[in-house]
Amino acid sequence: MNAAPLAIRRLAVADAPAFRDLRIAGIVENPHYFGAPAAEEAAAGLPLFESRIRGSQPGEAVFGAFRGAALVGVAGMSRPASGTMKHRGNLWGVYVAPAERGGDTAERLLRAVIEHARAHVDVLTGHVTVGNPRARAFYVRLGFGFSGVEHKILKVGDRYHDQEILVMDFAAPSAYLAAESASGVQP
């Protein structure tokens, strides 16, 4: 691994090109882990990535892990506009470059997003594709629980994929069992 120091910080608009390139690389690597096809993301161009970095709701943010000057990991928090839902942040777009996996890069990145979420929302939710045991184990280690399964939430080519719903309830950390799924799905 590159010996340059690791830094975690919120992305700035100037990071949009690196954000776009890393996200598209992640989707190409595992299209069934992400909620948008690489071609759509590429076609949307930089304005989409700049607007995600800016956010449209209070607390929306994208965090990055930088190895030296290189963006090597990203994770975002979005938030509904609706008054009855805006207490929930949604974790999205979690991706760490292969060379950075297995160390503390992903954990440091996600802990920054979690602390950010704690300051803005009551609950942090997310999704993990059934059949992604590494990500699932990672979220368990960070303290997420699982509240069920969304059936056929993604369709990649002609194949459907289910996703488990991740939950971190800041007021009730043990509201959901960490390692068990409510639906009994096999991780």
Task: List interacting residues with ligand COA (CB under 6 A).
Answer: 26, 30, 33, 94-96, 101-102, 106, 128, 132-135, 137-138, 141
What's the CA angle centered on 128, arms 63 and 8, to 5 degrees?
A: 15
**Which among 125, 174, 106, 184 is positioned nearest to 149, based on CA atoms?**
184
CB of 83 to ligand COA, least distance (A): 28
Structure tokens at 65: 């892990």
**87 vs 141, which CB is nearer to ligand COA?**
141
CB of 78 to ligand COA, least distance (A): 14
Please report the sign of the dihedral spanned by the C-alpha atoms of residue 123, residue 107, residue 149, residue 175. Answer: negative
CB of 186 to ligand COA, least distance (A): 13
Structure tokens at 39: 């071609």
CB of 104 to ligand COA, least distance (A): 8
**60 vs 105, which CB is nearer to ligand COA?**
105
3-state secondary structure of 21: helix
**71 vs 128, which CB is nearer to ligand COA?**
128
